[in-house]
Amino acid sequence: PADIISTVEFNHTGELLATGDKGGRVVIFQREPESKNEPYSQGEYNVYSTFQSHEPEFDYLKSLEIEEKINKIKWLPQQNAAHSLLSTNDKTIKLWKITERDKRPEGYNLKDEEGKLKDLSTVTSLQVPVLKPMDLMVEVTPRRIFANGHTYHVNSISVNSDCETYMSADDLRINLWHLAITDRSFNIVDIKPANMEDLTEVITASEFHPHHCNLFVYSSSKGSLRLCDMRASALCDKHSKLYEEPEDPSNRSFFSEIISSVSDVKFSHSGRYMLTRDYLTVKVWDLNMETKPVETYQVHDYLRSKLCSLYENDCIFDKFECAWNGSDSVIMTGAYNNFFRMFDRNTKRDVTLEASRESSKPRAILKPRRVCVGGKRRKDDISVDSLDFTKKILHTAWHPTENIIAIAATNNLYIFQDKVNSEMH
C-alpha cells in the first residue's frame, strides 16, 4: 500500500505539517487561521499541497531497486515568502520550494484570455495588464537534487542552525552538504570498517544541535550516542562524547542487541538534552552526562517476554520515533495497537492514548487506555495478547509551540489538539 505514512514533520512555526508516504508522495497540511465566526474550527489542518517527491529508481550496476518511500522530511527555516523542505528516500535528497500564487495578470495586449495570440488587426489600443486575484494555487518545484552521496540507505537528514548546510546519514556514513551545492558533499563520519566482516554497528539516526552549528549527534545500533564537534577535525570519526549505558546482564537474551538499537534521537528544544528511543524504552540524556541517561521510561515493557514472537513476525525491527513538546516537559512516542504514549517529565505521570476512528470524533476527548498484563483486569483494558501488532505508530510529531500533535497510524493521519491547555506549561 503506497499510502502508508512514513514520516511526519511540522515546520518551524507549526503552520505547516508535511507527511511523506511509501509511494514517494508528500502531502502538506496548513493550519487554518483562527476565525472568530467559527471558533471551533480554528486551527484545523487542511490539505495545502500534494506532490510526488520521489519515484522508484533502478540501480543497474547493483541490480537493485531504489524505493521511493520518503524516509524523512525536514523543513528549512523560512527566509522569504516561500517555504522550503528537504525530502529524502534511501539514496537521494531533494530540496523543494513551495510558493503560493494568488494573483494573475490579466489584460495582455497581444494574448487573449486563453493565451492565444490575438488577431493584430483587432488591437487598437494599448492597455497595461493588471494583477487580479485568483484562486490560491500552490506550486512546488524541485530546486536541488542531492544525488549519489550515499552507498547505503539514508536514514536521517538534519538542517543545521546556520541555515546553509545540512547533513544526511546512512548506515555507515554521514555527509555534510551545502544547500546550494549539489555536486559535492563532505564526508564527516565514516564508520565503515576496512573489512566488512568486522562490522559490528551501524548509524541509525543523526541530528544537528539546535543552537550550536558545530555539534551533532548520531546514534548507533549498539545503543550508544556520539556527540561530535566539527571544529575538532574534518572527519568526525572520533566523538567528542560517547553516551552509553552498560547493559543489564539480568536482562540478557537472544535479542539484547536488537532491542538496544536506538531507532531515533532528538535534541530537546533547549539543546541541553537528547531523547532516544529503543525498542522498549525512551531515554533522556543530559549532554553533560555520558555514563547513563538521566531518565528512562518504559514504553511497553510487557513485550519483553514476547520478543521471540516479535522477532518471528519482524515487529522487533520496527523503528519508533520520539518527540519533545515545545517546552521539553513532555515526551511522546508510539507503540502498537495504534497506541501512543506520553510521559510528563515533571510529574512523572504517563498516559497511553489511542489513535483510532472512534476516538477522533471532532472535539472528542481521548480516553486513556491501559494494557493489562494479567492479574486484575479493568473494563476497557486491553490484554497483551490481543494487541494488534500490525497497527503500529512509528511516526509522531509535536507542534513546536502548542499542544498539537500529529500521529501517523499506517495510512491515516490524526491531529489532536489540547484546547484546554493550549499554552505550554
Partner 1 sequence: MECTLDAQSLISISLRKIHSSRTQRGGIKLHKNLLVSYVLRNARQLYLSERYAELYRRQQHYPDGAPLLAMPACPPPAAAAPPDLPALPLPTDTQDREPRSCAGVRGGGELLEVPVCAAAPPELQRVPCRDSSPGFYRVTGSAGPGSGGGAAGLLYAAGCDFGSGGAPHCSSRTTVLDLDTHVVTTVENGYLHQDCCCSQCPCCCQPAPGLASPPPTPGTKRKYYPGQEEEEEEGVEEGGEPGAGGVAGGPPFAPCTKRARFEEYNTEHPQDSSNISNLISIFGSGFTGLVSRQQADSEQPLNGQLCSKQALASLGAWTRAIVAF
Q: Which is nearer to partner 1, 85 or 205 (CB)?
A: 205
Piece of 116-124, 227-235, 299-307, 340-348 that binds partner 1 (CB under 8 A): 299-307
d(CA 66, CA 177): 21
d(CA 163, CA 374): 52
Q: Is 10:397 a contact under the CB 8 Å cutoff?
A: yes
Total number of residues binding partner 1 (CB under 8 A)?
Answer: 41
Piece of 75-83, 201-209, 356-364, 365-373 that binds partner 1 (CB under 8 A): 201-209
Piece of 7-15, 41-49, 302-310, 358-366 that binds partner 1 (CB under 8 A): 302-310
Residues 6+ apart with CB under 8 A from 306: 384
197 binds partner 1 (CB under 8 A): yes
Q: Is 86:98 a contact under the CB 8 Å cutoff?
A: no
Residues 6+ apart with CB under 8 A from 128: 107
Bridge pairing between strands 371-372 and 382-383: parallel
Residue of the chain from 36, 37, 46, 62 that contacts partner 1 (CB under 8 A): 62
Piece of 6-14, 38-46, 150-158, 286-294 that binds partner 1 (CB under 8 A): 150-158
Alpha helices in 286-359 (DSSP H): 307-312
Query: Which amino acid makes up residue 23?
Result: G
Piece of 24-32, 142-150, 309-317, 349-357 that binds partner 1 (CB under 8 A): 309-317
389 binds partner 1 (CB under 8 A): no
151 binds partner 1 (CB under 8 A): yes
In the chain, count H helices and then E strands. 2, 31
Tell me which residue has cell 491515516.
412
Q: Is 82:98 a contact under the CB 8 Å cutoff?
A: yes
Residues 219-238 that bind partner 1 (CB under 8 A): 221
Q: Which is nearer to partner 1, 67 or 321 (CB)?
A: 67
Residue of the chain from 153, 272, 370, 391 that contacts partner 1 (CB under 8 A): 153
Residue of the chain from 27, 30, 44, 66 that contacts partner 1 (CB under 8 A): 66
Q: How many CA atoms lie within 13 A of 316 on its CB side?
A: 20
321 binds partner 1 (CB under 8 A): no
Q: Which is nearer to partner 1, 322 or 353 (CB)?
A: 322
What nine digits make up the cell of 126? 494599448
Residue of the chain from 93, 176, 179, 202 that contacts partner 1 (CB under 8 A): 202
Tell me which residue has cell 538534552.
273
318 binds partner 1 (CB under 8 A): no
Name the residue among 158, 255, 138 with its Cα closest to residue 206: 158
Query: Which helix (H) or strand (E) segment is 280 a member of?
Result: none
Judged by the rule CB under 8 A, the positions of this chain that interact with partner 1 are 59, 62, 64-67, 69, 90, 151-153, 155, 171-172, 195-202, 204, 221, 251, 253-258, 261, 304-305, 307-309, 311-312, 314, 317
